[in-house]
Structure 1
Amino acid sequence: MATTETSASKVTADTLAAFSAAFNRHDANALMEFMTEDCVFDAAGGSEVYGARFVGRDAVRAAFEAVFKTFPDAHWGKGRHYVIGERGVSEWVFTGTHAEGWRIEAEGCDLFEFRDGLIAVKRAFRKERPKQNV
């Protein structure tokens, strides 16, 4: 009888929902448990065509922690998560108050690539909106 990969080694929509929940807890350690050692995070903003790129767990963790510091009340709500094979999408509405005092509310999404049951690549995209004073 042929063996097949178990569903436990696959990323599912529930996996992405749990990943999103860790973002909303601002739990960088939990987030890194979902990611490969050589993970890549392309932030929504940055000077390159892909935004700002962070490679490896230490750099990605630092980038996530910087978001939590910059937006102490950061929240990704109204999540919808989809997985097809080794790729996935999370849609969300980001809300937060910047450390400088302005507020944002914008739709966005993450595009994911998976490897060995973990997130290998996370590419973030967010609508650009004018700053809203609090």
Structure 2
Amino acid sequence: MSLSIDDLQAFADAWNRHDIEALMGFMADDCVFEASAGPDACGAHYAGKDAVRAGFSEVFQTFPDAQWRSPRHFVLGDRGVSEWTFTGTRKDGTRVEVNGCDLFTFRGEKIAIKNSYRKNRVPAAA
């Protein structure tokens, strides 16, 4: 059995509550989180529950008011997608609003891989 659209909505709701324990309850023991930003082509790579927990926590530390609005989900077999509009304010006051998505790989009823993508906004050309 795989996760459902309702499960992905519950996962999104946990992100919006900043509920690390609920989020980790969805993750497999050997889970992977590839963040939308980081030093590598895949962003920042976190492997294993402890590292993924730290990566999720880092998102909330970077954006204390982070929210993922208007989520839309679909599931096909052991894969799933969530699309959303991310809003958040960095500690320096910089406001971010971008569209993005998560690509999921499921193992049974857990998330094995959460691979995040966000649009990058750049200033308009003069």
With the length of structure 1 as denominator, give the TM-score of the two structures: 0.89
Match of 2:81 among 85, 89, 92: 89
Q: CA deviation at 1:77?
A: 0.4
CA distance in 2, matches of 1:88, 1:10: 10
Q: How does 1:22-101 map to 2 (within 5 A)?
A: 22-101=14-93
Moved over 6 A (4+): none
With the length of structure 2 as denominator, give the TM-score of the two structures: 0.95
What is the identity percentage for the equivalent residue pairs of Structure 1 and Structure 2?
A: 54
Q: CA deviation at 1:47?
A: 1.7
* Superimposed CA distance per residue, residues 61-120 of structure 1 (whole angstroms, 9 cap, x where no aligned partner): 111111111101000001001000000000000000001110000000000000021100
CA distance in 2, matches of 1:85, 1:15: 14
Rg comparison, structure with higher value: 1
Secondary structure of the 2:15 match is helix
Question: Are 1:18 and 2:10 an aligned pair?
Answer: yes
Structure 2 unaligned spans of 5+: none
Secondary structure of the 1:39 match is strand
What is the root-mean-square deviation of aligned Cα atoms in Å?
1.0
CA distance in 2, matches of 1:73, 1:121: 25
Residues paired across the two proteins, number: 123
